[in-house]
Structure 1
Amino acid sequence: MAEPGPHHPWQTLAESKEEKQPEGGNLRKSPFSLFMNQLQRKKSSEKEGKSQSSLVSRLFKGSKPNPPQSDLKKENSELETTDSQPEMETEAGIKTQTETNSETPNTSEAVALLPLLPDLEELDVSWNDFIGGALKPILLQIHHVSKLKILRLSNCRLTTDDVLALEEVLNTTPDLEELNLSWNSNVGGNLSQILQGIQEGSKLQILKLMDCNLTAEDAASIGQVLPRMQNLEVFDLSINRNIGCSLSTIVQGLKNTPSLKALELHTCGLTQNSIQILGAAFAHWPELRRLDLSSNKEVEGGFKDSAAHLAHLKHLNVLDLHQCSLSEEDIESLTQVIPLLSSLQELDLSANKKVGSSSENLLSRLRFLPDLATLIINGCALGKDAFTALVESSMYLPSLKILDLSWNKYVGGNLNMLLETLKLSVMLQVLRLRSCSLVTEDLTVLVSVIQIGHLTKLQQLDLSYNDNISDEGWATFSQNVPLLKELTALDISLRPANFRECGLWFEHLLNSLTKLTMLSELGIQRWRIPAPHEDDLEYFNHHHKRSIHFDYGKFQ
């Protein structure tokens, strides 16, 4: 969502990778849409039995669990190994796999249902395990819904037979605009046969094949069929580690997709040579808005002679280079081109430690990005010069909404340098200072900004893993935190190895909860909470008719 830097439990689903609204691909919401992974059972009269709508509700209902762990960005592995790895939370109201309804949908009912829906335009059966091995009979009825525009089958445990049956679907749905087969490992090795169903002049705008165990042969097949998809706008091949060696074939095919707006190649085994191949093709994608090359550690040095090609991407909004092992030469080249990306709204350089020590300071050029709304530079080993450059540039970023400086120890004791930025950042909604070695004086600076009336738009504040703040510091903060009236998530947890008794400040925090009417998440892990206060936490939601998730690990 993101997953930004390390995925945090309180990142919204809009920030997570699978759920983020893609750039481009302006597919309209159709009134003829069925979502098996989202709809809830509708209550109908028992006298009438099961109506068609209740049948749809039953079948088109499923679980929306967390993406498989292999899919989550792995930045944390390059940061602090002592930090616990947070787990992404599921969307509220959607059952996880362990909570799925005991009533198993009957595939034959879905087969019978499709002929009754000739105007169906959107079919989403994602995150339903029962689909695996049972998809073929459903697909045999797909000719009844020839107007289908969107087909999502992500994480359905599709078998080889299921996958091979998709060729006919592509043959009989000429208006298909989106196809999502992500998280189905059997797609790998069989993609060439599926793609045979894509006809010349295909209307396909969105193609997602994330974590499909694609082979080098699959990559070659993709390259051959891409010239038929001249309307393609969103292309996601993330978490397919074997395609990097065949990237040249894919890129050659992508040169025929001038409308491309989003290219996702997160964790694809890209190399230094891959970046050079991509760079040479940027001129063919004048509409590109989003470029994700993250978690490809072998690209080190690839930007040395290729970064300049980024200047062709005049409309680029999102650039994700986190965990790419950027070298000093890479950073020097990026430093020259970043000011030319004037449309950039989101930049992620996390887990590239040379960013914080490079003599050619990339951060000094951020001032030329007036539309920058998201800046994620966690785990970049910021030193004095880099932090100073960041501070000076940040005062020229009026649109900044998300600032993540987590896992940069130099911030501790120096937060006062960001004082003017915090005053000027009237749009700031998310501030993450996790594991920054903050001290009491830093918290005092933050409180002073809050007291003056700044940071009024702040919704998420992460101060976790800063264990050197005194009880007095936490007390002052707890008394003033109600001034952040729009705060929805606050994390003050301690590091995994540390446990500490709550001081008298905890009572101030409890009192503040009644005034934080928007708060829904409070992280206080590894603080030893006296039993009476644990009871207060349990009682709070009921008494105040609130629904705050208190994350304090009481079962540890």
Structure 2
Amino acid sequence: MSQTRKKSSSDGETKPRTSFVNKFLRGSKLRSSKAESRNESNDLKTADSQPSDEPERTATLDTATPLTSEMEVGCRVEQFLQKLGKKAEDTCLDLNNCGLTTADVREMGAALKAIPDLEELTLSWNSKVGGNLPLILQKFQAGSKIRTLELVDCALTSEDGAFVGQLLPMLPSLELLDLSINRNIGGSLNSIAQGLKSASNLKVLKLHSCGLSQKSVKLLDAAFRYLSELRKLDLSCNKELGGGFEDSPAQMATLEHLEVLDLHQCSLTAGDVVSLTQVIPLLSSLHALDLSANKEMGSSSENLLSRLRFLPALKSLLINSCALQRETFTALAEASIHLPALEVLSLSWNKCVGGNLKLLLETLKLSTSLQVLRLSSCSLVTEDVALLASVIHTGHLTRLRKLDLSYNDSICDAGWAIFCQNLWLLKELTELDISLRPSTFRDCGQWFRHLLCAVTRLPEITEIGMKRWILPPSLEEELKCLDQDRSSSIHFDHGECQ
């Protein structure tokens, strides 16, 4: 979780962090100083009438009491955090994956009560939080300043989910809510959705792998009209969600500021795709769309993919493992020409790409932004990599940083040779993967020398995956010499060789 950093308005330098305990002490001393000042004034006025100094000593003890009390509270907070190996700095408290025990959970409620200005709280990957969330967060009052609440993989129960729904109206400043990997809260989504209607400042909502159902989609859709500031929505890995979009989720279209939509592995049906075809093209601010691992999209997404042309701001499109057919791939290829901002394109595990990469030729030529291209396990053939080599040779794809061509075992040595001969033109390339399938082992041909030559001319390259390619001793020696000659290390991953 990012930590809040405040900068000086005069010189721009980062101010030193202040612990909660120091803040408590500073505030307490200030209040004590003011109280002492008032008492001194009263003492001067009544000095002539006082027979002894006993009242003065009593006043001093009285004003010291709140200081001692708050010092004790602050010390208890710091001792609690030190026990967990954590620090509370500024307005952030990160207890992520710190093995909270049941006793810690019980103690935490009072610790949080002592931090009234808390803005960011992370309790993720602590299983003991589950079943105890009301005990931990019960001290949150209406008007709390909390902006970030992360409860990933906390074994939350359905009752915890219901409590979150009741808590949300008390958190008017909440901007990020992450309840991911809590598979039992799907049953309490009615309460959560009702609470979301009060979260008008929410920008990020993550419900990845939360046991959502078809009914959950309708409940969330009713809340979307109140979430006009939402930027990121993650509903991924909810396999029971499929079919929930079939009754058009009209309110999702009102999320005019939505930039990230993640629906991968949601068992989307053909009916879902039809409904999403009416919604997704209206999300004009969308920067990232992940529809991966939805097998039924292959035969039903032609219209949806063709209408992606209405999302000119789209930077990332992940549609791997969707069983695309030639018609749907053609629609995608034609739409991608109209996506000038596209930086990440993943089509891995769609066999129809093999032999048809030429459909993407215009996109590959026109793209000036593409940085990541993933074509793993696409049944690519020699003609496909030759086409890719020609695009590179003519000066295109110059911003490409990551290229994944792994698990394409049908490419012959001649294809790898022509590809490697042109590889040196990708000056910004950092990662390349040409690994073979786990079941395949092949001897490297002479093309490997072209790869080594290209590597010496690629200033940014750090990782080359070529698992299960078998290097003869002579090429092993050349690789060792390359490692010794270069000042910056390049990791050649050619493990699992026989």
Cα distance change on mapping 1:502 and 1:117 into 2, 3 Å: farther
Matches of 2:17 and 2:405, distance apart in 1: 42
Q: Deviations over 1:220-274 (max 9, x none)?
A: 1111111110100000000000000101111111211100000000000000000
1:380 aligns with 2:317: no
Look up the SS of the partner of 2:154 in the other structure: coil
Other-structure match for 2:413 = 471
The TM-score normalised by the length of structure 2 is 0.84
Other-structure match for 2:292 = 350
1:287 aligns with 2:226: no
Root mean square deviation of aligned Cα: 2.4
Map 1:522-541 to 2 at 5 A: 522-541=464-483
State the one-letter code of the partner of 1:268. Answer: C
Q: Deviations over 1:301-356 (max 9, x none)?
A: 10011422211100000000000000111000000112210000000000111222
CA contact (8 A) 1:331 1:360 kept: no
Matches of 1:435 and 1:427, distance apart in 2: 24
Deviation at 1:521, TM superposition (A): 0.7
Other-structure match for 1:226 = 168
Matches of 1:286 and 1:527, distance apart in 2: 52
What percentage of residue pairs aligned between the two structures are identical? 58
Q: Deviations over 1:185-220 (max 9, x none)?
A: 111111110111212211110100000111011111
Cα distance change on mapping 1:146 and 1:239 into 2, 3 Å: closer
Question: Which gives a bigger RCO, structure 1 or 2 (Cα 8 Å, sep 6+)?
Answer: 1
Other-structure match for 2:35 = none
Other-structure match for 1:341 = 283
Other-structure match for 2:55 = none
Matches of 2:83 and 2:301, distance apart in 1: 62
Matches of 1:205 and 1:268, distance apart in 2: 22
1:137 aligns with 2:79: yes
Matches of 1:294 and 1:243, distance apart in 2: 15
Look up the SS of the partner of 1:361 in the other structure: helix
5+ residue gaps, structure 1, are 1-18, 35-112, 121-133
Other-structure match for 2:393 = 451
1:301 aligns with 2:243: yes
1:152 aligns with 2:94: yes
Matches of 2:132 and 2:405, distance apart in 1: 47
Other-structure match for 2:37 = none
Deviation at 1:441, TM superposition (A): 0.1
Cα distance change on mapping 1:26 and 1:327 into 2, 3 Å: farther
CA contact (8 A) 1:244 1:274 kept: yes
Other-structure match for 1:166 = 108
Q: Which protein is bigger by CA-based radius of gyration?
A: 2
Other-structure match for 2:492 = 550
1:441 aligns with 2:386: no
Deviation at 1:541, TM superposition (A): 3.1
Look up the SS of the partner of 1:179 in the other structure: strand
Cα distance change on mapping 1:169 and 1:148 into 2, 3 Å: farther
CA contact (8 A) 1:279 1:306 kept: no
Cα distance change on mapping 1:114 and 1:299 into 2, 3 Å: closer
Other-structure match for 1:490 = 432
5+ residue gaps, structure 2, are 8-13, 27-75
Look up the SS of the partner of 2:240 in the other structure: coil
Deviation at 1:169, TM superposition (A): 2.5
Other-structure match for 2:185 = 243
Map 1:99-118 to 2 at 5 A: none
Q: Deviations over 1:146-172 (max 9, x none)?
A: 974111111111111112222122211
Q: Hey, which of these two has a bigger chunk of helix by percent?
A: 2
Look up the SS of the partner of 2:403 in the other structure: strand
CA contact (8 A) 1:147 1:175 kept: no
CA contact (8 A) 1:167 1:197 kept: yes
Give the alignment partner of residue 518 of structure 1, picking from 460, 466, 473: 460
Other-structure match for 1:6 = none
CA contact (8 A) 1:321 1:349 kept: yes
Look up the SS of the partner of 1:420 in the other structure: helix
State the one-letter code of the partner of 1:369. Answer: L
State the one-letter code of the partner of 1:432. Answer: R
Deviation at 1:136, TM superposition (A): 8.4
Q: How many aligned positions are there? A: 441
Cα distance change on mapping 1:359 and 1:478 into 2, 3 Å: closer
Deviation at 1:140, TM superposition (A): 8.8
Look up the SS of the partner of 1:158 in the other structure: coil
Q: Deviations over 1:56-76 (max 9, x none)?
A: xxxxxxxxxxxxxxxxxxxxx
CA contact (8 A) 1:331 1:355 kept: yes
Matches of 2:339 and 2:433, distance apart in 1: 25
CA contact (8 A) 2:291 2:319 kept: yes
CA contact (8 A) 1:136 1:161 kept: no
Matches of 2:365 and 2:374, distance apart in 1: 16
CA contact (8 A) 1:317 1:343 kept: yes
Other-structure match for 1:93 = none
Other-structure match for 1:72 = none
Cα distance change on mapping 1:381 and 1:169 into 2, 3 Å: same
Other-structure match for 1:432 = 374
Q: Deviations over 1:8-29 (max 9, x none)?
A: xxxxxxxxxxx7x7xxx98757
Cα distance change on mapping 1:447 and 1:28 into 2, 3 Å: farther
1:400 aligns with 2:342: yes
CA contact (8 A) 1:167 1:194 kept: yes
State the one-letter code of the partner of 2:484. Answer: H
CA contact (8 A) 1:270 1:296 kept: yes
Deviation at 1:114, TM superposition (A): 7.7
Deviation at 1:117, TM superposition (A): 7.9
CA contact (8 A) 2:148 2:176 kept: yes
Q: Deviations over 1:380-412 (max 9, x none)?
A: 111111011101100000000000000000000
Moved more, 156-165 or 277-286: 156-165
Cα distance change on mapping 1:220 and 1:486 into 2, 3 Å: same
Give the alignment partner of residue 144 of structure 2, picking from 181, 188, 202: 202
Cα distance change on mapping 1:462 and 1:161 into 2, 3 Å: same
Look up the SS of the partner of 2:398 in the other structure: coil
Other-structure match for 2:304 = 362
Cα distance change on mapping 1:458 and 1:166 into 2, 3 Å: same
Other-structure match for 1:128 = none
Moved more, 172-181 or 433-442: 172-181
Cα distance change on mapping 1:393 and 1:302 into 2, 3 Å: same
CA contact (8 A) 1:147 1:173 kept: no
Matches of 1:231 and 1:456, distance apart in 2: 43
State the one-letter code of the partner of 1:337. Answer: V
Matches of 2:495 and 2:138, distance apart in 1: 52
